[in-house]
């Protein structure tokens, strides 16, 4: 079931290299397709959006106005969702809001020993676009996880784009958006949605930043359009690493692995353990559970292609493997979980203990589930309120402070051959 590789301290990098670096991020055909879509959106705007929405997403829109969600559609969506769903959205909003508020930075001001005032000023972006995936699954949770940090940051204009099917968005997505007071919603997806948000059209104003996960075409569009618009990250397939010793319940571990495998055929589910017998038990339950979930075919392909069991001689060695993979989601289910967690430096999110499944983080815990994938946790972090803020430096020198640093300004400026820099400081002390 899960591919088995045995690793020790001396060979784990070599054995994992091909697996970790097996991505299709530079697919030439996709790059070309996305480039052409971007060019057409930039040139033909609304007309191109309409055509692509009909061509790619199984729609039959007659004009651009039908791409924008109307108030009556939101009202209808509200009536279509159960009270349990409304209540769950409300609880998720409360928890995500509470967490993101605690991350809000404060402006900094101080005066140094030369009397120079320094600081940093935080200010929100004016606008952002939230991409909410469609296609294989619907993600109302992504609305909450993307939009709430933006609202806490103070972003005034929040736009949602999501691919429609048969001219409709799911009621759940509209309910989640409505709960947050977001009404500018468009039924567009794919690379064309990212291009529209980046450049603007006759009907859609451009935004300052685009966030949210999507398929490989969405990721490629974000990559190509960075500079025209800010982006959060280049998202790849979902992934989970579970570190578990033999004392765990193999049923729970198997289902946690499937919770990511069901996302996408390219998703990665990885088990790290020091027990070969435990791997056998997990494989047994994987086979059994695959028959019982709704997305059997997707999960089966994911496990077959990317499922991996890493056998290590000592569970205390697990952090080396985890840090090398730098997973999006990392579950630690061992007796020494606190000790291992202290040694983890590369992970989008860490889920501690057997009663913290990754699904808890996806929906209700508080931190955003938009996390770095494809090993990007080596240098990137999960989406937060900080992604919707800009930091501006504050500098205020007085006459004494500038005079006391003038020699160093002159020395450094001359070393770079930039004499106007030097003179701009010295002229303030000239008698002429």
Pair 160, 119 in one domain: yes
Pair 178, 253 in one domain: no
Query: How high is the pLDDT of residue 58?
Result: 82
Query: How high is the pLDDT of residue 114?
Result: 92
CATH code, domain carrying 246 = 3.40.50.1980
C-alpha dist (Å) from residue 167 to 37, 73, 190, 294, 392: 21, 11, 15, 25, 43
Q: Which of 82, 81, 55, 50 is nearest to 67 (CA)?
A: 50
Interval 342-374: pLDDT, tens = 999 999 999 999 999 999 999 999 999 999 998
SS (HEC) of 259-321: HHHCCCCCCEEEEEECCHHHHHHHHHHHHHHHCCCCCHHHHHHHHHHHCEEEECCCHHHHHHH
Identify the residue whose tokens are 């039959």.
Answer: 60
Does residue 24 carry a pLDDT above 70? Answer: no
Pair 205, 291 in one domain: no
Query: How high is the pLDDT of residue 182?
Result: 97
> Do the domain assignments include residue 301?
yes
328 is catalytic: yes
Mean pLDDT of the 323-348 span: 95
> Do the domain assignments include residue 377?
no
Mean pLDDT of the 328-354 span: 96
Find out whether 309 and 16 touch, Cβ atoms under 8 Å.
Answer: no
Interval 293-315: pLDDT, tens = 999 999 999 999 999 999 999 99
User: How many domains is the chain built from?
Assistant: 3
* Residue 23 pLDDT grade (very low, low, confident, very high; cuts 50, 70, 90): low
The rounded distance, in Å, linking the Cα atoms of 225 and 241 is 31
> Do the domain assignments include residue 256?
yes
Q: With pLDDT > 70 as the criterion, what percentage of the chain qualifies?
A: 98
Find out whether 2 and 271 touch, Cβ atoms under 8 Å.
Answer: yes
The rounded distance, in Å, linking the Cα atoms of 369 and 56 is 27
Identify the residue whose tokens are 């606008």.
Answer: 127
Pair 343, 423 in one domain: no
The rounded distance, in Å, linking the Cα atoms of 310 and 7 is 7
Pair 243, 227 in one domain: no
Query: How high is the pLDDT of residue 236?
Result: 81
Query: How high is the pLDDT of residue 235?
Result: 82
> Do the domain assignments include residue 387?
no
Find out whether 132 and 102 touch, Cβ atoms under 8 Å.
Answer: no
Interval 4-20: pLDDT, tens = 999 988 888 888 888 88
The rounded distance, in Å, linking the Cα atoms of 170 and 174 is 7
Q: With pLDDT > 90 as the criterion, what percentage of the chain qualifies?
A: 86
* Residue 137 pLDDT grade (very low, low, confident, very high; cuts 50, 70, 90): low
Pair 105, 137 in one domain: yes
Pair 193, 256 in one domain: no
Biggest CA-to-CA distance, the chain: 88
* Residue 328 pLDDT grade (very low, low, confident, very high; cuts 50, 70, 90): very high
Interval 155-178: pLDDT, tens = 999 999 999 988 989 999 999 999
The residue annotated as part of the active site, out of 220, 263, 266, 329, is 329
Query: How high is the pLDDT of residue 26?
Result: 63
**In residues, how long is the chain?**
432
Query: How high is the pLDDT of residue 10?
Result: 84
* Residue 426 pLDDT grade (very low, low, confident, very high; cuts 50, 70, 90): very high
* Residue 214 pLDDT grade (very low, low, confident, very high; cuts 50, 70, 90): confident
Query: How high is the pLDDT of residue 251?
Result: 97
Pair 351, 422 in one domain: no
Mean pLDDT score across all residues of the chain: 94
User: Which one of 342, 365, 388 terminates a domain?
Assistant: 365
Query: How high is the pLDDT of residue 11?
Result: 87
Pair 215, 250 in one domain: no
* Residue 237 pLDDT grade (very low, low, confident, very high; cuts 50, 70, 90): confident
Mean pLDDT of the 397-417 span: 96
Give the residue with greater pLDDT, 412 vs 21.
412
The residue annotated as part of the active site, out of 239, 262, 266, 328, is 328
Does residue 387 carry a pLDDT above 80? Answer: yes
Pair 78, 218 in one domain: yes
Pair 190, 93 in one domain: yes
Query: Bridge partners of 185?
Result: 160
Does residue 74 carry a pLDDT above 70? Answer: yes
The rounded distance, in Å, linking the Cα atoms of 177 and 69 is 11
Domain that holds residue 412: 401-429
């Amino acid at each position: 079931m899960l591919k088995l590789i045995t690793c020790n301290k001396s060979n784990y990098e070599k054995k994992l290299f091909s697996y970790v670096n097996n991505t299709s991020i530079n697919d030439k055909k996709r790059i070309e397709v996305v480039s052409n879509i971007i060019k057409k959106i930039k040139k033909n705007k609304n007309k191109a959006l309409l055509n692509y929405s009909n061509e790619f997403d199984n729609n039959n829109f007659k004009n651009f106005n039908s791409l924008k969600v109307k108030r009556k559609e939101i009202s209808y969506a509200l009536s279509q969702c159960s009270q349990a769903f409304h209540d769950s959205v409300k609880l998720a909003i409360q928890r995500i809001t509470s967490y993101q508020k605690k991350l809000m930075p404060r402006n900094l001001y101080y005066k140094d020993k030369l009397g120079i005032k320094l600081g940093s000023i935080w200010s929100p972006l004016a606008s952002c676009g939230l991409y909410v995936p469609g296609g294989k699954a619907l993600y109302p949770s992504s609305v909450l996880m993307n939009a709430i940090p933006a609202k806490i940051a103070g972003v005034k204009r929040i736009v949602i784009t999501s691919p429609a099917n048969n001219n409709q968005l799911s009621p759940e997505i509209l309910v989640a958006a409505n709960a947050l007071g977001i009404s500018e919603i468009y039924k567009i997806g794919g690379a064309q949605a990212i291009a529209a948000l980046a450049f603007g059209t006759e009907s859609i104003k451009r935004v300052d930043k685009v966030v949210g996960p999507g398929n490989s075409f969405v990721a490629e569009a974000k990559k190509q359009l960075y500079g025209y618009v800010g982006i959060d990250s280049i998202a790849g397939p979902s992934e989970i690493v579970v570190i578990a010793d033999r004392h765990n319940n193999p049923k729970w571990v198997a289902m946690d692995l499937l919770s990511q495998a069901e996302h996408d055929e390219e998703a990665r589910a990885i088990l790290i353990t020091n027990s070969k017998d435990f791997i056998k038990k997990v494989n047994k339950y994987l086979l059994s559970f695959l028959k019982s979930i709704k997305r059997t075919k997707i999960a089966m392909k994911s496990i077959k292609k990317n499922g991996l069991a890493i056998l290590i001689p000592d569970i205390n060695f697990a952090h080396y493997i985890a840090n090398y993979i730098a997973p999006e989601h990392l579950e630690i289910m061992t007796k020494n979980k606190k000790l291992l967690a202290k040694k983890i430096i590369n992970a989008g999110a860490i889920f501690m203990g057997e009663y913290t499944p990754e699904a808890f983080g996806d929906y209700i815990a508080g931190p955003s589930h938009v996390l770095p994938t494809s090993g990007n946790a080596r240098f990137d972090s999960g989406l937060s309120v900080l992604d919707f803020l800009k930091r501006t430096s504050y500098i205020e020198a007085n006459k004494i402070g500038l005079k006391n640093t003038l020699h160093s300004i002159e020395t450094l400026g001359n070393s770079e051959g930039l004499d106007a820099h030097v003179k701009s400081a010295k002229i303030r002390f000239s008698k002429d």
